[in-house]
Structure 1
Amino acid sequence: MRLVQLTVPTGKRETIVDTLEDRKIDYVLTDENSNRDYTAVIYFPLPSPAVEPVLDELQDAGIDDDAYTVVVDAETVISRRFESLREEYENGDVESDRISRQELQAEADSLTPTFAVYAIMTVISAVVATAGLFLDSPAVVVGSMVIAPLIGPALGLSVGSVIDDEELFKHSLYYQIIGIVLAIGAAAVFAWMVRMTNIVPPGLNISGVDEISERLAPDLLSLAIALGAGVAGIISIATGTSVALVGVMIAAALIPPAAAAGIAIAWGQPSAAIGSTALVLVNVLSVNLAGLLTLWWAGYRPENLFSIGEIQQRVRKRVIGLAVIVLVFAVFLGAITYSSYAVATFEENARGEVETVLSEDEFAEYQLLEFEVIMDDNYPFIGPERVTLTIGGPQGEIPSELADTLHERINQHADDPVGVEIRSVGLTER
């Protein structure tokens, strides 16, 4: 429910009153004595779905933007006529649950802080995320998402496109570009400082840290996170519910991979930054694409009905453009996913081959103690470089025929030659 407060311009009192009477809307009219160009202030309660059509009708009647219009939440309205009005507008579809176009625009504006605050919070969030990745701590990484101010620009671009607010669109686009650059740059600088001051062990292999490695070689499932975040963000803002948790979800799609890209750059491994940078870009684009589609599906249109055709074409072009770019990135992520699948398949088959060989009568006295696949550094399409086996035997030595057999059997499942390192451990009989 909403309470609308509207200043009545000179000569428009009767028009406004007639409009409200025709719609059977209760109102309170008070005279204005401030010697301005307004003769009165009118207050009237509305169900949330009625705000947009009523304000549009009043604007068509000559109430322009020079008049003050304030829309606030109303906790309770007790009125028989109001209940009839609610039954008229609240019909159970998606447009009944959403806020008005005017409120949506104001909400999108309010979610984006000033540039200084946005830049500072983005840098802090990236630094905290970088520290969390080094610590291999999911809790710290989640904390970095909470302070990231990314939801405003991410949703503002979609809102600006659909309601024909090009200023909001350009403002949000600029903020998103700056946010990506700041996040990756801040992470790279902080990671370089960490490396130079030996805060982390010298020679740290970043691919050995789970929180980092999983973002250096992202898979196709990451796309679902971004699309879900975009849809959830728009639904949250459009229904007037809290967007704080959704903001964390959007930040989850952007801040950690940006921090991983910065770490890879600081470690002098630009190829390792390709996957995480691509993940940042595809997530940003996917959030915007999902937001555009969701807003249009929810029924948001430009203020000027005559411009719907033009705006619809513009939105369609942006949707198609975003969809094509997201599809290209999706193919790239799909290739990484297939590479990861191939690695997992190789590991499973190689282990199976080792166990099969050791189960043969000829080598029955030997047993597999440890099995490890060492990956190469060819990010984002990593592959097996070496297989390390720890095998126990009666004398602690591995016969050459067993080593040759294992090498041959393991390499049957590899596209490129894989080294096989065998460590022997003597087993004592009891």
Structure 2
Amino acid sequence: MLHLRLISPPERTEDVVRLIERTVGTTHLVVLPGAARDPAGDLVLCDVAREAGDPLLTGLQRLGLEDEGAIAVENVDLTLSRRAEQAEKDAPGEAADAVLWDHLTEATHEESTLSATYLAFITLATMIAACGVVLDNAVLIVGAMAVGPEFGPLAGISTATVRRQPRLALRSVVALIAGFAVAMAVTVGFSWFMDALGLFSERQLESDRPNTAFVYAPDWFSFIVAVLAGIAGTLSLTSAKSGALVGVAISVTTVPAAANAAVALSYGDTWQTWRSSEQLLLNLLGIVLAGTLTLVLQKWLWSRQPRKVNAV
């Protein structure tokens, strides 16, 4: 269930209440006239089944609440109510399949913002991966994959494409390019520093690395895995199953490929640098393509769900 907290101008409250009452899957409607102070208006509370949430939010936006009032949405972890159970039964579709497009846009907007924290995470992940490729340590590679935050901008590009939001697309592309550029530049310096300490060496980079050689060996399997990971990651975002993102993060060779390219560049190995860059671009392309197609398919399937209206 979702809990909605609405601030409505008094002249629109009747329309808001009517919309909620006519939306199948809503319950626990509360109206507190004049309770809101900033902005001034009526406070309207209700619960709605997740699968009925997006149509209701769209209707509330059309009534102008986004501009003249406020719309706040919270996930409800537990509701002990027969009315709530009935509302979820009445709502068309399944909650796990429902997409809250405004929530997805907001989440990807936040995750695709080029911030100091984002740069810190992607840089640290790339430096950890650099240690992994030089030491041929798969554990460090997996750890670096889990730390890397690059799926946020990739999801932002897919979301922006489907929702036709050029600003979100631009923000995501900038975060992606700038993030990897900064991370790789810092990792080059990190490699020189580690080499000066005698902890990295060109011999380690050029030797056989059975555990990490895949990071500079792009092939069709790399692309296929990236596509599958893109689908899984997108589904985890739209269904609010964020735990699955960890599995997605450690299944694609983005940060490790960037790290290998940076270390190879620090030693002047243009062949490994190029091959690692190919691996990186191939994975990024696969994730964005899969994410976009997944969202398009979800949007199409959900549009074919039968809609019900309460007889009020």
TM-score bracket for this pair, using the shorter chain length = 0.7 to 0.9
> Corresponding residue for 1:55?
57
Match of 1:266 in 2: 266
Report the CA distance between 1:3 and its aligned residue: 0.7
Corresponding residue number in structure 1 for 2:249 = 248
User: Offset of 1:205 from its aligned partner?
Assistant: 5.4
2:45 is matched with which residue: 27, 37, 43? 43
Per-residue deviation, 1:274 = 1.3
* Cα deviation, residue 33, structure 1: 4.4
CA deviation profile, 1:390-422 (whole Å, cap 9, x unmatched): xxxxxxxxxxxxxxxxxxxxxxxxxxxxxxxxx
Secondary structure of the equivalent of 2:74?
strand
Shift of 1:281: 0.8
State whether structure 2 residue 66 is matched by structure 1 residue 64: yes
- How far apart are the structure 2 equivalents of 1:174 and 1:220? 27
- Identity of paired residues, percent? 24
Q: Which moved more, 1:238-247 or 1:105-114?
A: 105-114
In the other structure, the counterpart of 2:225 is 225
User: 2:55 is matched by which residue type in structure 1?
Assistant: P
Once residues 169 and 45 of structure 2 are traced to their aligned partners in structure 1, the CA distance between those partners, rounded to angstroms, is: 32
Distance 2:4 2:270 in 1: 55
Aligned pairs for 1:12-161 within 5 A: 12-23=12-23, 25-26=26-27, 27-33=29-35, 35-92=37-94, 97-112=97-112, 115-161=115-161
5+ residue gaps, structure 2: 302-312
Cα 1:249–1:149 change in 2 (3 A) is same
Residues 262, 62 of structure 1: CA spacing in aligned structure 2 closer, same or farther, 3 A cutoff?
closer
Q: Which residue of 1 aligns with 2:307?
A: none
C-alpha RMSD over aligned residues: 2.4
CA distance in 1, matches of 2:220, 2:161: 27
Assess if the C-alpha contact under 8 Å between 2:134 and 2:204 holds in 1.
no
**Residues 77, 184 of structure 1: CA spacing in aligned structure 2 closer, same or farther, 3 A cutoff?**
same
Contact 1:234 / 1:294 at 8 angstroms: preserved in 2? yes
**Number of aligned residue pairs:** 298
Q: Which residue of 1 aligns with 2:178?
A: 178
CA distance in 2, matches of 1:21, 1:139: 54
- CA spacing shift, 1:63–1:177, aligned 2, 3 Å: same
Comparing 139-148 and 108-117, the one that deviates more: 108-117
Residue 170 of structure 1 aligns to which amino acid in structure 2?
L
**2:96/2:239 contact within 8 Å kept:** no
Structure 2 counterpart of 1:317: none
Partners of 1:230 and 1:22 lie apart in 2 by 37
Alpha-carbon distance in 1 for matches of 2:167, 2:80? 40
CA distance in 2, matches of 1:74, 1:299: 24
Distance 1:35 1:205 in 2: 64
Q: Which has the higher Rg, Structure 1 or Structure 2?
A: 1
TM-score by structure 2 length?
0.86
Check conservation: 2:35, 2:43, Cα contact below 8 A. Answer: no
Q: Which amino acid is 2:18 matched to?
A: D
Match of 1:188 in 2: 188
Distance 1:284 1:105 in 2: 20
Change (3 A) 1:285 1:241: same
Are residues 29 and 300 of structure 1, via their aligned partners in 2, closer, same or farther at CA, if it must alter by over 3 Å? farther
Instruction: Verify the 8 A CA contact 1:163 1:300 in the aligned structure 2.
Output: no
Which 4+ residue blocks in structure 1 deviate beyond 6 angstroms?
A: none
Range with bigger deviation, 1-10 or 30-39: 30-39
What is the letter of the counterpart of residue 118 of structure 1?
Answer: Y
Deviations 1:42-89 (A, max 9, x none): 111111011111121222334333421111111333445444432232
Name stretches of at least 5 consecutive residues in structure 1 with no aligned partner.
Answer: 302-430
TM-score by length of 1: 0.64
AA paired with 2:44? Answer: I
In structure 2, distance between residues paired with 1:62 and 1:174 = 32
**1:338-377 map, 5 Å:** none
